[in-house]
Amino acid sequence: MEGPAVAVCEILKYLIIYQRCETAGVSKGALLEGQLVISIEALNSKHQANTLHCVTTIAAAGSIYGGLVLKKLLKDMQSILPGFFANLNWTSEEAGHSQDASGLRPFQMIFEADVKPRTLMTDSLVIKNFLRKIITVLPKIRFNFSVKVNGILSVEIFGTPKFDTTELPCSRIHPVLGHPVMLFIPDDVVGMGLLGELTLTPAVALCPCPKVFSNQLNRISSISIFLYGPSGLPLIFPNSEQPTTAVFKDASYFIDWKKYRLSMVPNLDLSLDSGSVLPDVSYQVESGEGDQSQNMGPQGQTVLLFLFVDFHRGFPGQKMELWGVHTLLSAHLRAILRESHSVVQGCIQAAVARALEQHRQAVKAHQKLQASLSVAVDSIMSIMTGSTNSSFRKTCLQTLQAADTQEFGTKLHKSFQEVTQHRFLYHCSHEVKQQLLPERNEAEQNTDKAHENGSLELLAGTGEQTENKRLKRGSLGVEETGASRSAGALSPSEAASRRAEPTAAPLTFSRSRTGPGSGLEDAVWLQEISNLSEWLSSGPGP
Amino acid sequence: MAFTPRGPEASFFEVLDQHRASLLAALKRGGEEPTGGGMCLASSSEVLSSIEKIIQDIVTSLARNEAPAFTIDNRSSWENIKFEDSVGLHMVSHCTTRKIKSDSPKSVKNFAIILKILSMIYKLVQSNTYATKRDIYYTDSQLFGNQTVVDNIINDISCMLKVPRRSLHILSTSKGLIAGDLKYLEEDGTKVNCTRATAVAVPSNIQGIQNLITDAKFLLIVEKDATFQRLLDDNFCNKMSPCIMVTGKGVPDLNTRLLVKKLWDTFHIPVFTLVDADPHGIEIMCIYKYGSMAMSFEAHNLTVPAIRWLGLLPSDIKRLNIPKGTLIPLTKRDQMKLDSILKRPYITCQPFWRKEMEIMADSKMKAEIQALTFLSSDYLSRVYLPNKLKFGGWI
């Protein structure tokens, strides 16, 4: 018995693409905004044992969907999910066109289905993961997702940035954009209606931010791949018929692992209920022969590889065509990527190599900083412990509120770490601000230089940093955003070279924790995060 | 082996004596040594307190969650240096500074090295032991990278704490030599007599030498070791006795400069320089006389503005008909250095020096002292210098 997840995800995709089509000519380059509500109310079925009768409602505020023809939506849905919709009960089509108090026509559709409790539980997780993936790219769309099972309600809101008053290390990632490449479309796929150009743009980031370190972050431990299609929507469902790992069966797609003396092993142990965004493909990275450093230490960094596939048609197409393209891509991505193996491999490897080079430089700069701070602390301790001036010693202890010399040394070291890290927080966002300035839409080298400078401007991480490598979405009432360590600032190096508007890859989770209400920071962050597909739709680059 | 000096007759030194008298008169007219800006030897407790104060400031910054930083005077910036005829080049009282921050990756290493050297100085002063700059470098050569880093930071610390390097218990290795009519007692009680046939190394503890005794009529500073040795070989100190000769073997180290300063302060005897007639030689002479930019913060302890240029003068080249084949064309670097020296503030009060440099610039040629050997092998010690000294051939 099929659950509501597939339908919910497809409908959401449909609505978002619809919104994009509606706003395309109005606000080009602007962030896609909106609020969508998904609620599932489940009660024990009166007709079947161990079955829940689920009523799923999808609603959207605003008038953007006023022109949406529900019948067309249903017809399109039925074409791709015939089995599901055959068993579906739609309640009140007219409910999709009710008016709210303001006189606007919010969108609403309701459908019912009977599902097993376990299926509902799994589907809830699938929907959540899908929402998390969407808001990674489309941060200004808010989703209110509630599940009520026999009266017990659970609500989560996705897409709301959360501020934290504590100064935490940089919780962003800093993706490196690769050059977009044209994909070859197999003839049979063309025959299915994919008439146009497909481009693939990789974005690579290291998580956590390599500039804010703990001592363990000196190796790559895993690689997570996220696939997105047109309009910045997730491309492949986890429970798709096509195993996602099969798409990238050839690990050499990503990196010349031999060069780095590493090997990749598919990570099939992906759990939806971890609370993190589940990648489409995940690999564990192990060292090759002779490189013991890779296997040492409990933690490492994750290479996040975002692959954005976009579609361009040389002439105006039908509205909602992108939704159809999405469906085709989801079904035939493997064949398309196989057809373009060498170009895909080249562009991904180049982007990964750049990101890893930044990582290497960041590691080097971090080590240099740590060594220097260690010398500074030792020197001060040498004077402090060797001094016969009791007044001097007492003053030093009192200033750092240390009971004895040992505690003084610990606090001294910690203080140095904190002040250098504090400086980095400024610089981490400052680097992004610099990159987004319209004046800096120069060649890649200039932005690389900013990256290089930025990567050197690192500060030591604190031991208090959590080491959750997965991207975490701080959704209200669910988890502590202090543990979040993803998201945010893309370096628009290639983006800047391609178009005038300062944009960034649409990667976001939580924002840099520089304090609540920092208006300038908000503005910069929002400016950073824009819809990559929107940018790509301006046309393929040089 | 010591030998009984046999110099020229007393009348030989008439002009020299007159010159000395005029120098003493000028000193009397000038009054006391200018106050302010001079670095006095600091006591050990003062140095320790200064370092402790720095540490306290750092800890206080950290407690405020502010990244500590050192504020260092820009020693080598012309905007921070002024010229006074009586002192030479010295630092202005309110000079520009730069910050060595602990939270900048570009400067954090320097910040750490400064602290490291401060901690080493602290230990040296506390234990009343001494180390050379080279010793400091070798304690952690990997951290420091090269000797120049150590040298610069030691000078920065000296400037920051406003104490001479000696007070930091850091010695510089002396490379200079002394010869002639001079005796003194080193701090450890060693008796030194420079009237030996071979030269004596400049001691590493100039401030510590005592009981200086001399009857010298003049002090001759020789640029190059080769010329110094040649004069020794020619028994110049004996022939021109009583006199003292010093060489810094090129650009003088701190101790050689301190020694020259000490001899002047103690005896007020005429001081002359014998340098090559080239821009490099002139610059070396200027270091002795007016000081260097790098050490301008200690100018009052190092400069001897009373120094006179004895030779080799560019005008001597033509006057003595030195063969043109012995002359060397000025290189581009020479030209640039000459132009730079001509623009320096102290040249304006030295019209004769300017004229000599203009002669050099016009001829575009330079000459080493060794060019005089083409006249005769001992022309320098037998003819040139004695005539210069007897007849006042200095500027």
Write the pLDDT tens digit of every residue in B64-80: 999 999 998 887 766 77
**Average pLDDT, stretch B86-102?**
78
**Number of cross-chain residue pairs from A and B with Cβ atoms under 8 Å apart:** 105
Cβ–Cβ below 8 Å for A415 and B105? no
State how far the Cα of A415 lies from the Cα of B65, in Å rounded to an integer: 7
Any long-range contacts for A314-318 (C-beta under 8 Å, 24+ apart)? A314/A196, A314/A197, A317/A196
ipTM for this model: 0.76
Is A77 an interface residue toward B (CB < 8 Å)? no
State how far the Cα of A435 lies from the Cα of A456, in Å rounded to an integer: 16
Q: Which two tokens stand for residue A215?
A: 């001592």
The confidence score (pLDDT) of residue A288 equals 62
- List, as ranges, residues 270-289 from B with C-beta within 8 Å of A: none
**Out of B138, B290, B346, B379, which one is annotated catalytic?**
B138
Percent of chain A with pLDDT strictly greater than 90: 15
Is B55 an interface residue toward A (CB < 8 Å)? yes
Is the pLDDT at A381 greater than 70, yes or no?
yes
Among the listed residues A55, A34, A58, A35, the one whose alpha carbon sits nearest the alpha carbon of residue A109: A58
In this prediction the pTM is 0.63
| CA distances from residue A381 to A406, A533, B138 in whole angstroms, order as listed | 9, 55, 21
- Lowest average pLDDT, out of A3-17, A205-219, A356-370, B249-263, goes to A205-219
CB contacts of B113 in chain A (<8 Å) are 375
Cβ–Cβ below 8 Å for A412 and B59? yes
Could you tell me where the beta strands, DSSP code E, fall in A133-207? 141-149, 152-158, 176-177, 181-183, 197-207
Are B339 and B358 a contacting pair, CB within 8 Å? no
Residue appearing with tokens 């022939």: B239
The confidence score (pLDDT) of residue A320 equals 65
Cβ–Cβ below 8 Å for B118 and A415? no
Between B34 and B212, the more confident residue is B212
- Lowest average pLDDT, out of B34-38, B125-129, B249-253, B289-293, goes to B34-38
pLDDT digits (tens, 9 = 90+) for B256-269: 999 999 999 999 99
Mutate to test the interface with A, among B51, B52, B104, B107 (most CBs of A within 10 A): B52
Cβ–Cβ below 8 Å for B62 and A416? yes
Among the listed residues B327, B315, B320, B310, the one whose alpha carbon sits nearest the alpha carbon of residue B275: B310
State how far the Cα of A345 lies from the Cα of B155, in Å rounded to an integer: 56
Catalytic, B122? Answer no
Q: How many CB atoms neighbour CB B205 within 10 A? A: 15
CA distance B244 to chain A (A): 44
| CA distances from residue A184 to A157, A336, A446, B189, B310 in whole angstroms, order as listed | 39, 6, 32, 91, 86
- List, as ranges, residues 409-438 from A with C-beta within 8 Å of B: 412, 415-416, 418-420, 422-423
CA distance B149 to chain A (A): 15
Among the listed residues A488, A489, A504, the one whose alpha carbon sits nearest the alpha carbon of residue A441: A504
State how far the Cα of B301 lies from the Cα of B280, in Å rounded to an integer: 23
CA distance A415 to chain B (A): 6
- Lowest average pLDDT, out of A411-425, B108-122, B248-262, goes to A411-425
The confidence score (pLDDT) of residue A60 equals 83
Degrees, nearest 5: CA angle B380-B386-B388: 90
Rg value, chain B, Cα: 23
Is A104 an interface residue toward B (CB < 8 Å)? no
The confidence score (pLDDT) of residue A85 equals 59
The confidence score (pLDDT) of residue A72 equals 74
CA distance B43 to chain A (A): 16
What does pLDDT average to over chain A? 68
The confidence score (pLDDT) of residue A480 equals 25
pLDDT digits (tens, 9 = 90+) for A113-154: 888 999 899 889 889 989 988 888 787 888 999 999 999 999
CA distance A443 to chain B (A): 25
Q: Cα A277 from chain centroid?
A: 8
- A89-90/A52-60 β-pairing: unpaired
- B170-171/B131-132 β-pairing: parallel
- B219-222/B271-274 β-pairing: parallel
- Lowest average pLDDT, out of A73-77, A535-539, B347-351, goes to A535-539
The partner residue sitting opposite A376, judged by closest CB among B48, B102, B122, is B102
Could you tell me where the beta strands, DSSP code E, fall in B16-93? 69-73, 81-84, 88-91
The confidence score (pLDDT) of residue A10 equals 86
Residue appearing with tokens 């470098």: B137
The confidence score (pLDDT) of residue B250 equals 95
Highest mean pLDDT among A29-38, B305-314, B339-348: B305-314
Between A60 and B192, the more confident residue is B192
Sheet holding A89-90, edge to edge: A89-90, A107-115, A52-60, A34-44, A141-149, A152-158
Is B104 an interface residue toward A (CB < 8 Å)? yes
The confidence score (pLDDT) of residue A7 equals 86
Is A405 an interface residue toward B (CB < 8 Å)? no
Percent of chain B with pLDDT strictly greater than 70: 93
- Lowest average pLDDT, out of A137-141, A481-485, B47-51, goes to A481-485
Mutate to test the interface with B, among A383, A388, A459 (most CBs of B within 10 A): A383
Is the pLDDT at B351 greater than 60, yes or no?
yes
Mutate to test the interface with B, among A167, A361, A363, A375 (most CBs of B within 10 A): A375
CB contacts of A379 in chain B (<8 Å) are 112, 115-116, 118-119
Highest mean pLDDT among A107-121, A293-307, A520-534: A107-121
Cβ–Cβ below 8 Å for A400 and B103? no
Residue appearing with tokens 């930025």: A454
